[in-house]
Chain A
Amino acid sequence: MKTEIIKELRYAIRSGRALILFASFLFFALLTPVMLKVVLPMVLSGQLGGETTQGISGLTDMTQLDCIRNYMDYVLQIGTIIIAFTLCGLTASEIRDNAWVLPLCAGKRFGRMVGAKLLVFGVLMVLVPIIALLADYGYSGLLFGFEIGVIPILYGGLLQGIYVLFLLSCLMTWGVLIRRPIPAGFLTLVTAFGIHFISSLLNIQRWTPSGLLVEAQKLMPSVTPSLLIPIAVTALIIVFMTVLTLSRLRNLEWNVRAAQ
């Protein structure tokens, strides 16, 4: 499986996917504190008239914790969209373009090919939110003053990372099922936002992957029992989607023309 992993690493780096994801998450992680500390008071002072930005800052009473939670909200909204469209071709493009024909005939196994993708992009997807959240923590601490320790941040980032793994498995499954990258990205968004919306409406978030984001926003200093359910449910969904992906791959016809 070593060559499959090296191939995915090369793809992540040379296609610029890893850079896009790191840059996007870091951008929002660093932008949020500036927005809340500088831009928001300026906008409000302009609207209220006469009030200084320092005065507005005092009125809004923004803290580091509020800043981090604001950023975590962005991750669900914009971050999900960025991930869906950056990685929408992970399986769909390769299958549609017949890029798997030569590897399959050379004896490459579906399990290893999919496993390498999950591993490389999974590790990347766990690292990106953690690093971005640490950057947000550090920068917001400098602007608002440090309020909490680094451990809750690491836990929060890790939970976001696990949620992103769920997005990754959705992208791979939809990609294999419909073999078109952009629709696969859209369907992943529909799945992610649909689950989030419906679970919020029915108040069952802890039984869905969205529960991870709710738990992450709590920024708890240690693992709590309430975490176990969303982690277990998300892990089960990831396993189910991976099995579905592999099963579909085994039944696909390869090297067929688009019209067929």
Chain B
Amino acid sequence: MITVKGLQKKFKNFYALKNVDMHVKKGEIYGFIGPNGSGKTSTMNIFAGLSRPAQGECTVNGLDVTKLTHPGDLKIGYLPEDPKFYPWMTAHETLDYLSGGRNTGHTGEILRWTGLLDAQNRRVGGFSRGMKQRLGIGATLIRNPELLILDEPSSALDPEGRSEVLRLIKDLKGMGKTILFSTHILDDMERVCDTVGMIDAGQMMFEKPLRQLQKENTQPIFDIIPAHSVESNISNALERLTGVVSLTKSERSLTVKVADNTVSVSVMRFLTDHEIVIESFSLRKTRLEDLFLHGVNTK
């Protein structure tokens, strides 16, 4: 749905984007992460046809964005970071205006789906941030597009509002939509994304399927929480076990670094043989946040 090669964007003497390459496949949820000012919004503006790149190839929904004469020609749904509505219009009037008065049934469906049916005759100026965001997501669907670009749809929302927005995004995937969305809240991204792309200082740091990313960055470390304190001679014996690289003992837990995941079998057997009751035995996962911080700090 989106193919980008060597994308560059320049504001006066400042390069906001430097040779960005990206690929968003049909039907996936693509999470776009990056620190503030890294170029996320600039990239998304170009994808939405709202801004022109200085250089590079960019195809969105089969159209060359560099040759676009009007953003509406892309037939995509775009939700800006801070969607601006006319405060003197009601929610229903807003969607009716955006749809051009066509297909009023669809407008009603969108209001129901976003949970704004009861508030449809209230002026948007009196809406909460969460309601505006839901109306914004509804507005992106007004032309029933296949591709949706959502810029920080869950940021600045309370946990309830975030959950509601994530539910809408999951629903959209269920409808077969392709979604590109950016967020600062990496937990949200882990909950809904298929692919993750990270940008920093206008350059792509990585672009991988979320599962692959998690697998590649999984550390062979087991966190073991025993029900009772483990004696030193037992922990020392465990450290000497074949395949165990190191062991760190703390008051409540054992951290066992192993050569690879298969060592887990011998570690568990050892614990069983020594009749150690365990409360928890887990492989440590690298969270997206760790990768994000690692990526930002090691650039």
Chain A contact residues, CB within 8 Å of chain B: 2-4, 6-7, 10-11, 14-15, 97-99, 101-110, 250, 253-257, 260
Once the chains bind, are B88 and A14 in contact (CB under 8 Å)?
yes
| Nearest CB in chain B: distance from A112 CB, A | 9
A255 touches B45 (CB 8 A): yes
Q: Which residue of B lies closest to A16 (CB)?
A: B88
A107-B143, A254-B51, A255-B41 given. 4 additional CB < 8 A pairs? A3-B96, A99-B84, A105-B48, A108-B72
Chain B interface residue number, banded? 35 or more
* 0 or 1 for each of B88-113: is its CB under 8 Å from A? (1 = yes): 11000100111111000000000000
What CA separation (Å) do A109 and B73 show in the bound complex?
Answer: 10
In the complex with contacts A3-B101, A107-B100, A101-B84 CB distance below 8 A: yes
Provide the bound-state CA to CA distance between A10 and B90, in Å: 11
Interface set of B (CB-CB < 8 Å, partner A): 11, 41, 45, 48-52, 69-72, 74-78, 80, 82-86, 88-89, 93, 96-101, 136, 139-140, 142-143
Write the chain A residue with the least CB distance to B98.
A106
7 nearest CB pairs, A to B: A107-B72, A254-B50, A14-B88, A106-B98, A105-B78, A3-B101, A99-B84
**Given the complex, which residues of B lie within 8 Å of A250, measured CB to CB?**
69-70
Contacts of A256 in B (CB 8 A): 45, 51
A10 vs B52: C-alpha distance when bound (angstroms): 33
Residue in chain A with minimal CB distance to B69: A250
- Residue A104 contacts which of B52, B72, B88, B96 (CB distance < 8 angstroms)? B72
Give A257 to B83 CA distance when docked, in angstroms: 13
Q: Contact between B80 and A101 (Cβ–Cβ < 8 Å)?
A: yes
Contact B50 A255 (CB under 8 A): yes
Known: A10-B93, A98-B84, A260-B11. A253 touches B101 (CB 8 A): no
When the two chains form their complex, are residues A105 and B76 in contact, meaning their CB atoms are under 8 A apart?
yes
Cβ–Cβ contact B72 & A98, under 8 A: no
**Please, which residues of chain A bring their CB within 8 A of the CB of B142?**
106
Q: Which of chain B's residues have a CB closer than 8 A to the CB of A103?
A: 97-98
Per the bound structure, the CA–CA distance linking A22 and B181 in Å amounts to 47
- Docked-complex contact A102 and B85, CB < 8 angstroms: yes
**Neighbouring B residues of A4 by C-beta, 8 Å:** 97
**Chain B min CB distance to A198 (Å):** 36
Contact B84 A97 (CB under 8 A): yes
Q: A99–B85 contact, CB under 8 A?
A: yes
Q: How far is the CA of A11 from the CA of B99 in the complex (A)?
A: 18
| CB neighbours of B45 from chain A (8 A) | 253-256
A sample of 23 cross-chain residue pairs with beta-carbon separation below 8 angstroms, ordered by A number, consists of A10-B89, A14-B88, A98-B80, A98-B84, A101-B80, A101-B83, A102-B80, A102-B83, A102-B139, A104-B70, A104-B72, A105-B48, A105-B72, A105-B74, A106-B142, A107-B100, A108-B72, A253-B45, A253-B50, A253-B51, A254-B45, A254-B71, A256-B51
B88 and A15 contacting across the interface, CB-CB below 8 Å:
yes
In the bound complex, CA of A146 to CA of B153 (Å)? 66
| Complex CA–CA separation, A152 to B98 (angstroms) | 43
| Residue numbers in B under 8 Å from A101 (CB-CB) | 50, 78, 80, 83-84
A25–B96 alpha-carbon span in the complex (Å):
34
Bound-state Cα–Cα, A107 to B48, Å: 12
Whole-angstrom distance between the alpha carbons of A260 and B11 in the complex?
7
Residues of A within 8 A of B96 (CB): 3
Contact call B88/A11, Cβ cutoff below 8 A = yes
Of the residues A11, A97, A105, A254, contact of B77 by C-beta under 8 Å: A105
